[in-house]
Amino acid sequence: MKKICKFLICFIILAACQTYAYADSWGLHFTKDNERPQGNATAEYLAQFDAYFIGCENEKVLYMTFDAGYENDLTAGILDTLKKHEVPAAFFLVGTYIRDHPELILRMAEEGHIVANHTMTHPDMSKLNDKSSFAKELSQVEEHYKNVTGQDIPKFYRPPRGIYNETNLKLAKELGYKTIFWSAAYKDWEDNNQPSREEAFSKLIPRTHPGGIILLHNTSKTNAKILDELLTRYKDMGYRLESLFHLIEKGAVSPTALGTGSVPNWKTP
Tens of pLDDT, residue by residue over 21-52, are: 346 899 999 999 999 999 999 999 999 999 99
Q: Rounded mean pLDDT of 195-208?
A: 98
Cβ within 8 Å of residue 215, ≥6 positions away: 65, 66, 67, 182, 184, 185
Q: Which pTM does this prediction carry?
A: 0.87
Model confidence at 118: pLDDT above 80: yes
Tens of pLDDT, residue by residue over 60-103, are: 999 999 999 999 999 999 999 999 999 999 999 999 999 999 99
Higher pLDDT: 212 or 268? It is 212
Q: For position 27, what pLDDT does the model report?
A: 94
Residue-wise DSSP of the chain: -HHHHHHHHHHHHHHHHHHHHH-EE--EE--STTSPPEESS-HHHHHTTTEESB--TTS-EEEEEEEESS--S-HHHHHHHHHHHT--EEEEE-HHHHHH-HHHHHHHHHTTPEEEE--SS---GGG--SHHHHHHHHHHHHHHHHHHHSSPPPSEE--GGGEE-HHHHHHHHHTTPEEE--SB--S---TTSPPPHHHHHHHHTTT--TTEEEEEETT-HHHHHHHHHHHHHHHHTT-EE--HHHHHHH-SS-TT-------------
Model confidence at 263: pLDDT above 80: no
Model confidence at 134: pLDDT above 60: yes
Cβ within 8 Å of residue 16, ≥6 positions away: none
pLDDT band with cut points at 50, 70 and 90 for residue 15: very low
Question: Are 92 and 132 spatial neighbours (Cβ–Cβ below 8 Å)?
Answer: no
What is the C-alpha separation between 49 and 26, in angstroms, rounded? 15
pLDDT band with cut points at 50, 70 and 90 for residue 12: very low
pLDDT band with cut points at 50, 70 and 90 for residue 252: confident
pLDDT band with cut points at 50, 70 and 90 for residue 121: very high
Q: Rounded mean pLDDT of 182-209?
A: 98
Q: For position 23, what pLDDT does the model report?
A: 62
Neighbours of 15 (CB within 10 A): 10
The length of the chain is: 269
Q: For position 17, what pLDDT does the model report?
A: 38
Residue 254's φ and ψ, nearest 5 degrees, are: -65, 140
Q: For position 257, what pLDDT does the model report?
A: 38
What is the C-alpha separation between 75 and 54, in angstroms, rounded? 25
Q: Which residues are catalytic?
A: 67, 217
Core vs surface per residue 28-67: b (16+ CB within 10 A) or e: bebeeeeebbbbbbbbbbbbebbbbbbbbeeeebbbbbbb
Higher pLDDT: 185 or 11? It is 185
Q: For position 14, what pLDDT does the model report?
A: 36
- Gap between the terminal Cα atoms of the chain: 44
Tens of pLDDT, residue by residue over 162-173, are: 999 999 999 999
Q: For position 24, what pLDDT does the model report?
A: 85
Half-sphere exposure of 66 (CA within 13 A, CB side): 26
What is the C-alpha separation between 196 and 138, in angstroms, rounded? 35
